[in-house]
């Protein structure tokens, strides 16, 4: 709810595009700083305990938004929010990966990711509606209530006893720096970073793009995007489990590219909805498949670190996308910014294809 509304809030308080980017990016910065250390603790102490700590910090930050008077105050609150976000998100991911059976991990992570993506799709729609129809105070109240409900529901999450604490210290890298980042999670995390850059450009500037393009209610993008995600997630998860990651990650990238092309030329609600359908199909297929792939590549006693690495990359993409593409929009326009963001997905395709070809060549040599 805050991602597309806080940039407008800053702009209405005479903030520049740079300050908008800082407000979006500071949360990511805080999360990135704290998350690697959280990953280590997830693998050595109770995941549920860490989840509760993260949720409490987020709740405190949400309650502080009511007293936002200046951009500096907002940046401080966003940093606190980012610390809680950096603690809670890998905890949720690690718990989910412990609960889901390995044989259905693609499908299971799809369901888990469905909750995350639906929130990121529906949240902006209702956030924009609350800010426009009522006030930012109502928006902040809704965010606080949502966080409170989340804290209550988290108490019903059951974590397997065997998953609470790592009993295999010998498999954990000895060097502290190496423990902060899970090496096996790096490549999928690189891909989700690139995806996150494009999503960061959408959630950060689509409201301002709507004003530029003359589209009355850009909230339709998020609503239709959520519907596309809801439909595609179970399907793509089952394809991942049966046929592997290539059958999902490669075609889904083209769907996302089509979505960005349509969005960049959107001048009506109809084109906006078409863009949301295609981008939702692509994003809703790629993100959970990459997370399932990350878990599959990682030892059980390193899932906490793997999820921390994955979420760091995703948040870096969203935050970095907001700052990078915001600078592009300042030089060109929001429409052209979305066209330039297509290049990010082209890089995704090239990197992924090179990786796939290299792996196949190694497999041929191994089998020869």
Rounded to an integer, what is the distance from CA 248 to the centroid of its chain?
Answer: 18
What's the alpha-carbon Rg for the chain, to the nearest Å? 20
Q: Is 45 left (phi over 0), alpha (psi -120 to 50) or beta?
A: beta
- 163 in any annotated domain: no
The percent of the chain in helix, strand and coil, each rounded to the nearest 5, is 85, 0, 15
Residue 143 lies in a domain: yes
Question: Please, what is the Cα angle at 69 between 64 and 70, to 5 degrees?
Answer: 110
Identify the H or E element spanning 158: none
Residue 310 lies in a domain: yes
Per-residue pLDDT tens for 275-319?
Answer: 999 999 999 899 889 988 988 888 877 777 788 888 889 888 887
Question: What phi-psi label fits residue 14: left (phi over 0), alpha (psi between -120 and 50 degrees) or beta?
Answer: left
DSSP track, 45-71: S-HHHHHHHHHHHHHHHHHHGGG--SH
Q: Residue 231: which of 114, 113, 93, 116 has the closest Cα?
A: 114
Show the tokens assigned to 135: 């006030």
Answer yes or no: are the C-beta atoms of 45 and 165 closer than 8 Å.
yes
Q: Are 201 and 338 in contact (CB under 8 A)?
A: yes
Using the predicted structure, report yes or no on whether residue 178 has a pLDDT greater than 60.
Answer: no
Q: Is 319 helix (H, G, I), strand (E, B) or coil?
A: helix
Span 170-182, mean pLDDT? 55
User: What proportion of the chain, given as a percentage, has pLDDT over 70?
Assistant: 93
Assess if residue 165 is contained within a domain. no
Does residue 162 belong to any structural domain of this protein?
no
Given this model, what pLDDT does residue 368 score?
64
Q: What is the pLDDT of residues 3-61, one digit of tens each?
A: 778 888 887 877 676 777 788 778 888 888 888 888 778 767 778 889 999 999 999 99
CB crowding 276-296: b at 16 or more within 10 Å, else e: bbbbbbbbbbbbbbbbbbbbb
> Taking Cα atoms as reference points, which of 145, 83, 88 lies closest to residue 116?
88
| Total number of domains in the chain | 1
Cβ atoms of 321 and 24 within 8 Å: the answer is no
Among 27, 29, 35, 31, smallest CA distance to 180 is for 35
Q: Is residue 113 a contact partner of residue 195, using CB atoms and an 8 Å limit? A: no
Q: Which domain, by its residues, includes 28?
A: 6-156+179-367
Q: Is residue 95 part of a domain?
A: yes
pLDDT of residue 173: 46
How far is Cα 194 from Cα 202, in angstroms, rounded to an integer? Answer: 13
Check if the beta carbon of residue 204 is closer than 8 Å to that of residue 23: no
- Separation CA 12–CA 8 (nearest Å): 6
Position 185 in a domain: yes
What digits encode the pLDDT tens for the residues 227-278? 898 888 888 888 988 898 999 999 999 999 999 999 999 989 999 999 999 9
Residue with tokens 């906006």, as numbered in its chain: 272
| CATH number of the domain where residue 274 is located | 1.20.1250.20
Residue 171 domain flag: no
């Amino acid at each position: 709810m805050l991602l597309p509304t806080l940039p407008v809030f800053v702009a209405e308080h005479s903030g520049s595009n740079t300050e908008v980017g800082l407000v979006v990016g500071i949360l990511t910065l805080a999360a990135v700083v704290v998350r690697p250390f959280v990953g280590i603790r997830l693998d050595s102490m109770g995941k549920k305990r860490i989840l509760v700590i993260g949720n409490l910090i987020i709740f405190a930050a949400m309650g502080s938004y009511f007293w936002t008077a200046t951009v500096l105050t907002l940046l401080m609150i966003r940093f606190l929010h980012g610390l809680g976000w950096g603690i809670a998100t890998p905890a949720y991911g690690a718990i989910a990966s412990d609960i889901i059976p390995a044989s259905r991990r693609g499908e299971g992570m799809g369901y888990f990711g469905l909750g995350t993506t639906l929130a990121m799709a529906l949240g902006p729609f209702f956030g924009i509606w609350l800010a426009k129809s009522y006030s930012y105070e109502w928006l902040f109240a809704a965010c606080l209530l949502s966080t409170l409900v989340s804290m209550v529901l988290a108490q019903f999450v059951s974590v397997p006893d065997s998953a609470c604490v790592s009993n295999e210290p010998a498999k954990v890298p000895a060097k502290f720096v190496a423990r902060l980042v899970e090496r096996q999670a790096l490549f999928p995390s690189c891909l989700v970073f690139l995806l996150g850059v494009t999503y960061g450009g959408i959630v950060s500037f689509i409201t301002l793009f709507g004003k530029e393009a003359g589209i009355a209610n850009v909230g339709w993008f998020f609503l239709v995007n959520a519907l596309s995600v809801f439909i595609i997630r179970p399907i793509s998860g089952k394809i991942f489990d049966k046929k592997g990651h290539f059958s999902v990650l490669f075609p889904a990238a083209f769907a996302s590219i089509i979505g960005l092309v349509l969005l960049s030329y959107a001048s009506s609600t109809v084109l906006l909805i078409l863009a949301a359908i295609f981008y939702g199909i692509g994003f809703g297929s790629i993100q959970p498949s990459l997370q399932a792939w990350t878990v599959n590549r990682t030892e059980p006693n390193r899932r906490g670190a793997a999820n921390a690495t994955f979420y760091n990359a995703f948040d870096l993409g969203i935050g970095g996308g907001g700052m990078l593409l915001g600078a592009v929009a300042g030089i060109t326009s929001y429409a052209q910014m979305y066209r330039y963001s297509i290049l990010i997905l082209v890089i995704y395709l090239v990197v992924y294809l090179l990786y796939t070809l290299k792996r196949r060549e190694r497999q041929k040599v191994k089998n020869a």
